[in-house]
Chain A
Amino acid sequence: MKIHDSGDVLTISNIKELAAGNSDSFREEVRAAVPSGVKAIEIDLSDTDFVDSCGLGALISVYKFVNSRNGPVPVRLVNPAPSIQQIFELTRLHRIFEIVKSE
């Protein structure tokens, strides 16, 4: 997993999966990397081929963390695979996270 802080936007990428086996470490690493005053979080799911309920919990935890510290901060999920996007839609989490398709 890679974390890049450009000042206003924290970008997390190279995530192979978000599942029970790594969701705790994902949550802790991202929370530790969130700078004060961050304007947006972008989580690149291009390389992610699996998300389970623990992974969803980790994403929700990150969302609640940044929004409790810095006011309204969008958390964008970039390029999720169709099967993963379906999970966000089934759980209605696409109303919480911004799902972004980039080139």
Chain B
Amino acid sequence: MDKAAQTLSLAKLQAGDPHEFAHFVDQYSGSVYRLALKMVSEPQDAEDVLQETFLKAQRALPKFEGRSSLATWLYRIAVNEALMVLRKRRPDMISVEEPDPDAEEPDEPLQIIDWCCLPEAELLSNEFRQHLQAAMQQLSPALRAVFLLRDIEGLSIEETAQTLDVSQAVVKTRLLRARLKLREALSEYYKERLTERSQ
């Protein structure tokens, strides 16, 4: 994303040049929409997050100080917007500062099933994709955001930390927990498939 950002003129963006802002939107909107979709799950909510993110960016660009890259700055707005949507949906469940996703030690792996070599065709079934999505939604928003930024959008640990305004140590802890939880969920899925096959 930063490579793409180099072709943009920050001066023009900050001066409110609509064509430059249109380029900016085209460069980043796909990633922001994908992130939003994974964060909030519902396409309509994801579109709201997308629109609000760029509206806020449009208003705030003149004050952008360049302390982080444009990409991490934009992701930060997007994650905050997604958290707002989730909070509105479940005000009792979501707080800005998660009910301490970093307090516990990472869960120890429970499922020790080697499913690495199962056929790739399994990965393409609708049932499996639904399971992937469900497992993602089972993560707390704080863990989900870290996994999406680091492992799907490809941000570094440092950029992820900047985006979420937490330390790199916190990012690593959350990333480990998110990865392990998703691994457990997939192991459960494969365990059921293997059991079905052996019956």
To the question of whether A and B form a pair in one complex, the answer is no
